[in-house]
Chains A and B, each alone.
Chain A
Amino acid sequence: MKTWQRIKNSPAVLQRYLVREKVIDTIRSFFKEKGFKEVFTPTLVSVPSIEPNLEVFKTQLRTARGVKKDGYLVMSPEFSIKKLLAAGVGNCFEIARCFRNEEEVSRLHNPEFTMLEWYRVNADYTDIMNDFEDLFLKIVGRNKLNYQGESYDLSKPWERISVAEAFSKYAAKDVLKVGDEDFYKIFFNEIEPALAEKKKPFFIYDYPVSQASLSRPKKEDPRFAERFEVFLAGIELGNCFSELTDAKEQKRRFEKDLGERKRAGKTVYPIDAELIAALKSGIPPVSGIAVGVDRLVMLAADAENISQTLFFPANEIFNL
């Protein structure tokens, strides 16, 4: 039975699906009250992001005159927003439809999803931690969240622990000696469960620079990068960077990512040269975060599975 039929049969079920609307309204008013600009960037772009583990939906643009161009559905609005930051838009946010291909459709993943990104200029990742706490509290509406039979304490401040400290305290390992290959296996088997015991959300910050992605190295210790992830109930809710603004370093990392893709036998895409040009033209110091809105909705609606918050989950559309 499809969701629309289920709702027709049991109208009470509809309430759970309406939580999404409330969450998105709350996000909008939260940022507008703080003076952030809401921006709207394209879903269809000419250059994809090139993370080694992620796959993009590829399509083709054909004009009436017969011009053909490769097109891609965005995995994140990040590249476009960074160009706007270079243009001088200032503090801004976007609630964007994003797409990822070749990923298991699961409790936490739908190939089409809603991403919230916000960027604060002249700020670092600790400012984004504060934003996240306030936003999440506003969405839930109180200091306590009941999710799947467990009660979580949301009162501020949430736990903040560095990756190095967490690996040493809970796994007795030096994170700089742990390879990227084993990082998340150790994290989920030894560290996350220990931190989750407190039944509170937590921020884990300062990742080894090999996992820096688009974040800038720490001034005090360049072996680490200013990046954090935030977890609640075993679910990763957001990934934040003090953004890398050095065009040369960004280009070098893109080339490294493409090298990894090539070695893994994956399609090697072009680098977004316009993004590099935008960084080169000058961009203010900025921190930004990507948050899976579907996961926020899932927590707010006390749903076990993301598909229970979508009117048309991919598994129903495609009979997966």
Chain B
Amino acid sequence: MISVNAGNITKGMYLIYKGEPNLVTKADFMSPGKGAAVMRVKYKSLKTGSAIDFTYKTNEQVEVADVDKKEMEFLYRAGSDVVFMNPKTFDQESVPASLIEDKLGYLIGNLRCWVMFYKGGPIGVALPPNVTLKVTESPNEVAGNRINAPKKTVKLETGIEAQVPIFIKTGEKVMIDTGTGEYLGRVK
């Protein structure tokens, strides 16, 4: 059994809580002037998706969930599933779209992602920090002043929208932050 000192828990870890695997979505260290320091953790259950808070003393040991990470490429969506392929073995894996939630709009053909497995089944997908997507629809230049770097809303090839500077035209490619959805730059 691998375990981690509760004082070292960070966001993104997979840990066992009450016998079940959970993703750490928040970890706040708190050091009161007196008494033992604590780590306040927010979990997301991999089984039910529900959120739960739990506080550990920082010197407690917490069991790490044995989560396997595989680098895979996005292939296509099939109904409520998303299909990924292992580029080395060509093995395919269907991941429920619900596990990818708000990140579906960043999935573009051949995008390399980390697919997470627990006890053989997929439990989540980690995307690269940014993706490059083509602008498919863009309104004509909107008036604005240059000092405030005005933005406009464009449609990207995967169907999602993004706020980009007004000089971006249809057909150009832009880099988008997969964590925040923000425009990072133009790609030539």
Contacts and interface: CB of A to CB of B under 8 A. Distances in A.
A170 B55 CA distance: 16
Interface string B86-115: 000000000000000000000000000000
Given A10-B182, A11-B149, A181-B57, A188 B38 contact: yes
A185 B55 contact: yes
B34 interface: yes
Contacts of A181: 35-36, 57
B29 interface: yes
B57 A11 contact: no
Interface string B52-71: 01111100000000000000
A150 B29 CA distance: 23
B148 A11 contact: yes
Contacts of B140: none
Contacts of A236: 30
A184 B55 contact: yes
A9 B185 CA distance: 9
Contacts of B36: 53, 180-185
A181 B184 CA distance: 46
A239 B34 CA distance: 12
A274 B57 CA distance: 35
Interface residues on A, range: 20 to 34
Contacts of B183: 9-10
Interface stretch (A83-91, A101-109, A278-286, A309-317): A101-109
A174 interface: no
A234 B149 CA distance: 38
A106 B29 contact: yes
A189 interface: yes
A112 B177 CA distance: 28
A155 interface: no
A107 B34 contact: no
A54 interface: yes
Interface in A1-42: 1, 6, 8-11
Nearest to B149: A11
Contacts of A212: 34
A107 B32 contact: no
Contacts of A255: none
Given A185-B55, A189-B55, A53 B28 contact: no
B37 to A, nearest CB: 6
Interface in B9-67: 26-38, 40, 53-57
A211 B55 contact: no
A9 B55 contact: no
Interface in A181-208: 181-185, 187-189, 193
A184 B38 contact: yes
Contacts of B55: 184-185, 187-189
A87 B36 CA distance: 35
Nearest to B163: A10
Contact of B37 (A1, A11, A53): A53
A9 B177 CA distance: 13
The 8 A-B residue pairs with the shortest CB-CB distance in the complex, in nearest-first order: A188-B55, A104-B29, A180-B35, A211-B34, A51-B33, A183-B35, A184-B38, A181-B36
29 contacts: A1-B177, A1-B182, A1-B184, A9-B149, A9-B182, A10-B151, A10-B183, A53-B33, A53-B36, A54-B31, A103-B29, A106-B27, A106-B28, A107-B26, A109-B29, A181-B36, A182-B36, A183-B35, A184-B35, A184-B55, A184-B57, A185-B38, A187-B55, A188-B40, A188-B55, A193-B53, A211-B32, A211-B34, A234-B40
